[in-house]
A = this chain, B = another copy of it.
Amino acid sequence: MAARVKAPGTPPSGAAAPSESGAFLAACRCRPAAYRPIWIMRQAGRYLPEYRELRARVSFETLIRTPELAAEATLQPLKRFELDAAILFSDIMTPLEGLGVALSFEPGPVVREPLRTRAQIEALPELVPQRDVPFVLDTVRLVRASLPRGAPLIGFAGAPFTLLCYLVCGRPSKEFAAARAFLYTHPADAQRLLERLSDAMAAYLAAQAAAGAQALMLFESWAGLLAPREFAQFALPAVRRLVAALRGLAVPLIYYVNQGAVLMPAVAGLDVDVVGVDWRASLTRVRRVLGPDKAVQGNLDPAALFAPPEQLKRCATAVLDEAGSAPGHIFNLGHGIWPDTDPDAVARLIDCVHEYR
């Protein structure tokens, strides 16, 4: 066991013990919290030796589709670190398999038959999560039953435009050229696909909340491909539709917009509780644009975890300072943690965030 691991239930040094609802959910609602909450995108993943052990036994697909194992992966970082939230271990492409899209992971997701025609788009069945992805909902239930320190569980889905990128291109790419060209060559088909994905992800997220997820996060990982005009024309209406379908639920909604600093004025109009941003955005400016009613999540550069301890502390403190003292900041990285990160650096980062006043 690493030197920095503390026994479950131990409050962060110098901080009040987290309540059942906890610092994370308070920050989501822009309410005061005893300390700045932190969780880390991809906190369950390859940088953890215990995760690599799990993966040595089973494939990524099997891991995701086996509730006991997916729950174990979800809980691993919570057992090792004093994180303030768990996030479901899954993949944004998983519910698309429920829609009949044949996928493989090589290791990035590869769609066997990319979607390019109206007929393919209309032929996508409705997603019925209880029938199509029951293992995800079982994972949520298992995790909820075992979470240490009353930490809340975040459910998630890919945002419609980000899913469209994979579905139209067929595989990850730097430019997602085919997807972006599709928006220009077939705007009506693109909009129809986005609507269908919006409805499917609304059903998927609502089912996660019903199974016990206490916050819901949408990943717009490829927002940075779009100019503000195309973001407003394609990505944003699909998110608005999705958010409208979920607004009746009692859980906070988080919209993560990667490389979206220039998109914040458009995002400000969305009825979400939290906006997540990457390290290229200034949190001070983002908060000014979003206004006092939206919380922000982010945004340390994942590369900063490679800095010597004092320098990492300076970088983390700069993020905390930039977010300001008003309630409503959830500390996170600006993007997923890298596989070769030292877990001890993560432990130091969490202490630094919890000790910040």
Contacts and interface: CB of A to CB of B under 8 A. Distances in A.
Interface of A: 174-175, 177, 180-181, 183-185, 224, 226-230, 259, 261-262, 279-282, 301-304, 306-308, 311, 318, 334, 338, 340
Given A175-B338, A224-B280, A180 B262 contact: no
Contacts of A174: 174
Nearest to A227: B279
B184 A280 contact: no
18 contacts: A174-B174, A177-B303, A177-B338, A177-B340, A181-B338, A183-B303, A184-B303, A184-B306, A184-B307, A184-B311, A185-B308, A224-B224, A224-B280, A226-B280, A227-B280, A227-B301, A259-B259, A261-B261
A205 B262 CA distance: 33
A307 B185 contact: yes
Given A184-B304, A185-B306, 6 more contacts: A181-B303, A224-B280, A228-B280, A229-B318, A259-B280, A261-B261
A188 B318 CA distance: 21
A230 B281 CA distance: 12
| Residue of A174, A227, A282, A311 with most chain B CB atoms under a 10 A cut-off | A227
